[in-house]
Chain A
Amino acid sequence: MIDYEKQSLKLIETAEKLLSDNTVDVVLGVKDNPEVGWPTPYFARKPEDAKKLVWTEDCHVNLANYLTEVKGKKAAIAAKACDVRSIINLIAENQLSRGDITIIGMECAGKMQNEKLASACDACPASVPNLYDIAIAADGSETYKNLEMPNSSENVTEWAIHTTVEERLDRFMKEIDKCILCFACRQACQGCYCVTCFIDRKATPWEQVDADTATKMAFHLTRAMHLAGRCTDCGACEKVCPSGVNLKYLFKGLSEFVEETYDFKAGMDPEATPVLDRYSSDDKQVAFLGGDSIVGI
Chain B
Amino acid sequence: MDHTTENMIENTEKILEVENLTAVYNTDAGVVHAVNGVSFSINKKETIGLVGETGAGKTTTALAIMQLLPERTGEVKSGSIRYRGDELLTKNKAEMRLIRGACISMIFQDPMTALNPLMTVGEQIYESLAIHNSNKTQKELEPRVDELLELVGIPARRKINYPHEFSGGMKQRIVIAIALACEPLLLIADEPTTALDVTIQAQVLNLMDELKQKLSTSMIMITHDLGVVAQTCDKVAVMYAGEIVEYGMLEEIFDPKRPHHPYTIGLFNAIPSLTGESRRLKPIDGLMPDPANLPEGCRFHPRCQECMERCKSGEIYQYENGTHKIKCNLMRKGENDGRAD
State yes or no: do A and B come from one complex. Answer: no
